[in-house]
Amino acid sequence: MTNELITSSASELAARLAAGEISSVEVTQAHLERTAQVDPAIHAYLHVDAEGALAAARAVDARRAAGDQLSVLAGVPIAVKDVMTATGMPTTCGSKILQGWVPPYESTVVTRIKAAGMPILGKTNMDEFAMGSSTEHSAYGPTRNPWDLERIPGGSGGGSSSVLASFQAPLATGTDTGGSIRQPAAVTGTVGTKPTYGGVSRYGLVALASSLDQAGPCGRTVLDTALLHEVMAGHDPMDSTSINAPVPAVVEAARRADVSGMRIGIVRELTGSGFQAGVQQRFDEAVQHLRDAGAEVVEVSCPSFTYALAAYYLILPSEASSNLAKFDAMRFGLRVLPEGIGDPSAEQVMAATRDAGFGDEVKRRIILGTYALSSGYYDAYYGSAQKVRRLIADDFAAAFERADVLVSPTAPTTAFRFGDKLDDPMAMYLNDIATIPANLAGVPGMSLPSGLAPEDGLPVGFQILAPAMQDQRLYAVGAALEARLLHAWGAPLLACAPTLNAVGQEA
Amino acid sequence: MSRPTTEATLPFEVALASYDPVLGLEVHVELGTQTKMFCGCAAVFGGEPNAQVCPVCLGLPGALPVVNEKAVESAIRIGLALDCQIASWCRFARKNYFYPDMPKNFQTSQYDEPIAFGGHLDVELEDGSTYRVEIERAHMEEDTGKSSHVGGATGRIHGATHSLVDYNRAGIPLIEIVTKPMTGAGERAPEIARAYVATLRDLLKALGVSDVKMEQGSMRCDVNLSLMPKGSTTFGTRTETKNVNSLRSVERAVRYEVGRQAAILAAGGTITQETRHWHEDTGVTTSGREKSDADDYRYFPEPDLVPVAPSAEYVEALRATLPEPPAARRRRLQAQWGYSDLEMRDVVNAALVDLIEQTVGAGASAAGARKWWSGEIARRANDAGSDVPTLAASIGVGPAEVVELESLVTGGRLNDSMARAVWEGVLAGEGTPTVVADARGLQLVQDSGALEAAVDRVIEANPEVAQKIRDGKAQAAGALIGQVMKELKGQADAAAARELILAKLA
């Protein structure tokens, strides 16, 4: 019974909860037990809120018993990335500088999740301030990939991808600045969507790069992800960049799973050399599945994508250097007094705190961004990067003239081993080559599993990109591909993952 | 901390013999909006420290700004009133620097895309001439928190044992209005600086966008000044004197900096580009923070806010809400009231324009309104360190009382000196003019028999004066009128007495 409660999809759980066959307390309890069992090995959570989750579960069960009208996902538990403020729980962003900080206010996303009656199991691990592709930059230690504990779970949202892949939660939230939802989904065999920029409120999400950050849903199926998408998305007057328009009908698109007559564009620059052979092979097979499902496949070229990584690593550090300036020990968070200085000044306390509280990758990007924005360098760096950003948006616009969606592998490789790229930031950054263009242009993207790479038996991600505010196309294509792959495999991909019970017992 | 030594200065006139001042003024105005620039906190002066704050204006992680539309509206109206162009699309920018009273360690401001730019303001000078101040730009930004440095002798950060920060002010909407460099002002530079700030203050008040109280900091002025050798067109190095917060100080600070910089240049020295502090008490500026190329605010467009893009229709609708410019209004009222330039200037300086306009509107003569509002009550207001409108409001005296007083005079019940006595009673809170006149028994002698008898007695008692009048010296009648007044204890109609005297001695 317990096993079934944790392996079921969110939509299955929702249906059984609505039918009164199971209670939210049972479902929540089952996931908390799973966490107690496997998370010591995985380390996906930075904070587990068993008490709060069970209280929320009891409340939603009581409302259901009283005959209240409840939202679709009411009673289905969820894990929240630690970048999102929630009252009653710490928000650390994987950083020492926020250790123990309990925010006095709540992000709009978390408020919506609570309003939907979804118990929050806890806060998931991440690279410090979402800077990284492996969770190795978390100040609290890395999260392990349930497929291979010696490998990275992706990043920055490796905690969220791992709770899904290890059945510790049926749903999770993420934020995606350059691929932090999609790349972790790809390397763990799960699903994740970065909605159109402005589709989900950023209010209460600790900012990395404001013009690139976008929160989105993570799940094990395309439909689950769509259901959570509709909970999270919608206009928020507290975020002036939030889109004031109806949320795209993503659940309906996921249910219809229809790609007949759709034009699928393969991005020439995001395939071929530089992509692992097994990654390319699974991608090509997936494209054939879509062709078989009635889609027309075309090739498009986006020549400016070549410069996306360079532009991204100027824009992101620039905005981050400014966004992270508020961590100064004056009003909240860590405060470190400098050693050997009696009666230190405010500036000395700021410096000592930032030195002790920020990790190396954060410092690296603050220094990069500060430099790029400096007088005399601004035009050459930040200014040029903004021009590239415009060219990339133009490339997307031209490509979407020829295709309804664009597709590529999500990441060039399957999950790499811990430490493999830690000393080579450029190699780490290159992991995001396929995901970054969508953030620069603000268009929506999804990653879903397309199989295991034959050479290492690890999950491969398939990326779908759509024009801004056409998020439903991701779900139509994703659900169609998922259905055909499921049929071909005979079982969900995660059924192939190691059973962590055994791993846990061995450990 | 040792007080900075006073620097040498050249007398103003000596300085101007060799150098031309170049003047620039930056005025920060706190808008009188209900809420702050980017959040819903109350934007009011005072209040318990750190009580008017929220996650947004405290800069807590994850909080986001949303632009106050009323502040944008005020900014556009200010821009229009200064004859500026209004940007059809502009962005906020982040000005990055670390300071404990700045919650985010960047100030959300505007950089190269101000909401308003390229305007001008004509200021009237003492000699009646007009100087046109070119406006570079007016842009929107947020105020910082307020630091209080405790434990030092001067209240400044040097020597303080600790500092307190109040974030109530953080996020209050500000408009910064920047002039283009003013050249050719010569010895009028201090006067022009003062007149500009005064004119701007009147304009902002008329717009109703701010309470423009310099003493409370809701209007703050920074004075930029440099000197160049006479005849040169290349600007010298400038200093920026911060927080010059009264009209008189603006004038004095300009005068002081001219003298100080001239002394340095005349001695072969160079001016340091720096921020300077104005000392109201001693009338000098002292060196603050040195400004250099190392000052780098790393401006970039604020990614958390969407651009401000006011439509042409919206801007024109706001243009229609602009009040009559204060200078034009003053010219119109002066013509309407028939005041001399001097009279009008006194009325303006005493802040009586509105009160007189209301009083005339209520039926009083322009001369009467000016006379009553600028007499006894003005003395009392001055003694109380207040102004006439404030004092009048506090004692409950308004246009109606002046109209009533004047009608008692024109109706023949009171003469001028009686009316003054009545007005004093009114100002003392004894009641309306009629009530005061009744209570004091003030009433001109209406009985012509009594007046004639008094006139006869006075003529008889002053035969020599009477003879002079008979000889045609009508001006001698004044002496007799005074006597008649005395006979009737001041309650005589002087005009009637004069007529009677002249008739009897014709």
B15-68 tens-digit pLDDT: 999 999 999 999 999 999 999 999 999 998 778 999 999 999 999 999 999 999
Q: What angle do CA B380, B382, B386 make, to 5 degrees?
A: 100
Closest C-alpha to B454, from B478, B488, B482, B493:
B488
Return the pLDDT at B413: 86
B276, β-bridge pairs: B241, B287
CB contact under 8 A, A238 and B66: yes
Return the pLDDT at A503: 43
Please check whether residue A154 is in contact with residue A183, taking contact to mean a CB–CB distance below 8 angstroms. Answer: yes
Around Cβ B95, how many Cβ atoms within 10 Å? 19
B116-149 tens-digit pLDDT: 999 999 998 888 889 999 999 999 999 999 988 8
Structure tokens at B292: 């250099």
Return the pLDDT at B288: 83
Tell whether the model's pLDDT for residue B293 goes beyond 60: no
B381-427 tens-digit pLDDT: 889 888 899 899 988 999 999 999 999 998 888 888 889 999 999 99
Q: Span A41-46, mean pLDDT?
A: 98
If you search the block for the tokens 């950083």, which residue do you land on? A95
B71-115 tens-digit pLDDT: 999 999 999 999 999 999 999 999 999 998 999 999 999 999 999
Whole-angstrom distance, CA of residue B390 vs CA of residue B386: 7
CB contact under 8 A, A105 and B55: yes
> Given B104, B299, B304, which is nearest A326 (Cβ)?
B104
Structure tokens at B225: 């000044």
At A422, the pLDDT band (50, 70, 90 cuts) reads confident
Return the pLDDT at A501: 63
Structure tokens at B479: 């002496």
Please check whether residue A31 is in contact with residue A168, taking contact to mean a CB–CB distance below 8 angstroms. Answer: yes
Tell whether the model's pLDDT for residue A504 goes beyond 60: no
- Mean pLDDT, chain A, integer: 95
Please report residues of A whose CB lies closer than 8 A to that of B104: 325-326
Percent residues over pLDDT 90 in chain B: 65
Tell whether the model's pLDDT for residue B367 goes beyond 60: yes
Return the pLDDT at B102: 93
Interface of B with A (CB under 8 A): 54-55, 58-67, 94, 96, 98, 100, 103-106, 163, 165, 293, 296, 298-300, 303-306
DSSP for B424-479, written as a single string: HHHHTT--SHHHHHHHHT------HHHHHHHHHHHHHH-HHHHHHHHTT-GGGHHH
CB contact under 8 A, B96 and A207: no
Return the pLDDT at B46: 75
Q: Span A97-105, mean pLDDT?
A: 96
Tell whether the model's pLDDT for residue A35 goes beyond 50: yes
B388-395 and B376-383 helices, crossing angle to 10°:
100
The region of weakest confidence among A48-62, A135-149, A289-303, B465-479 is B465-479
Nearest chain A residue to B55 by CA: give it.
A105
Return the pLDDT at B492: 80
> Is A8 annotated as catalytic?
no
Please report residues of B whose CB lies closer than 8 A to that of A205: 62
At A118, the pLDDT band (50, 70, 90 cuts) reads very high
3-state secondary structure of B179: strand
Return the pLDDT at B152: 76
Tell whether the model's pLDDT for residue B1 goes beyond 50: no
Percent residues over pLDDT 90 in chain A: 92
Start-end of H helices in B288-365: 312-319, 326-337, 341-349, 353-361
3-state secondary structure of B363: coil
At B311, the pLDDT band (50, 70, 90 cuts) reads very high
Q: Span B416-445, mean pLDDT?
A: 89
Please report residues of B whose CB lies closer than 8 A to that of A347: 98
Whole-angstrom distance, CA of residue B506 vs CA of residue B503: 5
> Is A447 annotated as catalytic?
no
Global ipTM:
0.94
Return the pLDDT at A181: 98
Please report residues of A whose CB lies closer than 8 A to that of B163: 346
B38-52 tens-digit pLDDT: 999 999 877 899 999
Q: Does A205 touch chain B (CB under 8 A)?
A: yes
Q: What is the pTM of this model?
A: 0.88
DSSP for A279-320, written as a single string: HHHHHHHHHHHHHHTT-EEEEE--GGGGGHHHHHHHHHHHHH
Whole-angstrom distance, CA of residue B76 vs CA of residue B241: 27
CB contact under 8 A, A375 and B100: no
- Mean pLDDT, chain B, integer: 91
> Is A363 annotated as catalytic?
no
Return the pLDDT at B5: 56
CB pairs under 8 A between A and B: 102
Return the pLDDT at B384: 86
Tell whether the model's pLDDT for residue A428 goes beyond 90: no
Give how far Cα B502 sits from Cα of B426, B464, B470, B481, Å. Answer: 36, 15, 8, 10
At B292, the pLDDT band (50, 70, 90 cuts) reads low
Return the pLDDT at B466: 87
3-state secondary structure of A138: coil
Q: Span A198-216, mean pLDDT?
A: 98
